[in-house]
Structure 1
Amino acid sequence: MIGPRPRILVTRRLPATIEARMATLFETDVNEADVPLTGDDLVEGLAEKDVLVSSITDRIDAELIARLPKAVRLIAQFGNGVDNIDIEAAWAAGLTVTNTPSVLTEDTADMAMALMLALPRRLIEGSQVLARGGGYWAGWSPTSMLGMRLRGKALGIVGMGRIGTAVAQRAKAFGLSIHYFSRSRRSAQVEEPLGATYWPSLDAMLEAVDIVSLHTPLTRETQRLLSAERLARMKAGSFLVNVSRPELIDEPALVGQIESGRLMGAALDVFEYRDGVNPRLLALADANRVIMTAHMASATLEARVEMGEAVIVNIRTFMDGHQPPHLVLPEGGAGIVRRARA
């Protein structure tokens, strides 16, 4: 039976203001160690709990869902992406899943633009000259640290949703021409202020632009969207920015394209990490052919607090018997049978 306050397990530490607010509203158990929990840890921690407040580091697959205590009725993801959760299995088990979209738009777009500037202008490399030289610097010269100008280049955005549009707005201010591929064409009200060109063919756009920036969610259709074949179609000398999901790219093929010199490089806030970072990718980063950041696109205090507030709203709305505002449905959800959660 549900007590006077919802009982929740929070799998990672959240901003102090959010944890304090949760503690006033819910019976809250927080993973103080702030390390990813194992499946057994999750099952044990969820005993007599109503809600799992998960994050992208929690692997919530069909096997784990089948083991969850029956009292658990809601998985309230702290984050926009939910590819760590088997949504179909959760739905079939009668669990509701929510996420925290929208609040990450501006910060993620800022990061994409920062990476777009950093790679062609060699900002990371330039900042390391003195540190790696032990304080020695040969001094300025007309041919030192030459990079690539952004103004006049063509940016190809894959996925013109909230974040893709925000990136386009920033890029236009830097003098880039805006091109995009998306599941559907945006309205004239979106395209015209940006001077944006819609490409119905991703392959054709990849061949035409100087910079490719990924802003599409991970789904069955977008898994390895930039396959080895598509990466080979990219314009010679172009480069790639990814602040979305690593699974959108055939990473070994990308590494090969950069190693060969055909692609200028890549700026990656996300990359494959299950078995550690690809040593070839690390070597390219060491050679300043790739910039890698530690999944920082949404890492602002403002974003994390807003994400926490969205989690709280989802929990309170659900526990009050209403549909939460950020409900996540399975792909083709209408065709999936859902049974009542005990």
Structure 2
Amino acid sequence: LPWLYVFAASRPEPHILSVLSNPSSADVVHHIRLEDTANSHDDVGRYLEETLPKIPSYGDYLEKHPDALERLISRAAGVFIFARITVNFLDEHHSHPEEWFELLLSGGSPAAMPLNALYLQILRSAFPPEDLRALPSEHKRLRSLLRFVALETESITSETIAFYERDLSASDISDMVDRLRSVLMIDQDGDVVPPHASFGEFLVDKHRCSDALYHVDKAEGHAHLACACLAAMSFENYIYRLRKPDLPPQLAHVNFGIMVTCWRRHVRQAAYTVELEEQLSQFVQDVRLALQIWHHGGLWSSFSRYSVQNVWDYLQVGG
């Protein structure tokens, strides 16, 4: 159909570009990068020029140092999410604006993915490398949070992360999210989410997240999450999932579905670890395998007599 044109907008994901760049479609597929368009820099520049002076203490600073704003606009390279996260970050740090501006302008050239440098600067500012090295327990807590943010596709509340990461409390999670509120937030449903998907992608790409203190290894991370799911499986937790309206207050916001449906995906993408081998070995020998069978059987009316709920009721005193 020579009159049919399809316009598709996407971030430059390698797996998408690899398909669209196939030589067989080179004569019909044309690529335009947003940052190469005539007015992308102007749009981002206007946003920063209108927004930053309204942040307390930055109006006076920029009036005295107009070159700082020009350098920041140049560093943004037409990428709006860079500008948005920059505004979020500066809005959290009102004192000593010159120090925060220099922090954002340091670390890498504008041509080398400024968003990567920005994410890394924000992580280092919230959780300084020297602190993480001095306090391994603090580093472990941070990695637990970043692992969930980067690898778990289901909704995750602070309570959910704390449920699966037994060394963390919901208040620990909330505190860390608050320290990273430029790149993480708790939405209206209580879920911990990044304002842009590129943050999770940054965390799992060792070439983009060049500091190992903050990098999330995908295979090891999936192994850890698989173990967390398997460890959480129990008759009691299955029933909590079925009786959600009647849950104790401390469990009301826990996503038990991760335990039931996501463990297989994490196992498939996991690296081998001794802990995962032990968890899987125990899994096929104890009640958790039966729970999985009953869970899926309970979805069909012909197996209703063997649903988890019925088995649980039968085992209760007087059942």
Q: TM-score, normalised by structure 2?
A: 0.23
**Which structure has the bigger radius of gyration?**
2
Q: If each structure's helix is expressed as a fraction of its own residues, which one has the higher value?
A: 2
Whichever structure has more strand as a proportion of its residues is 1
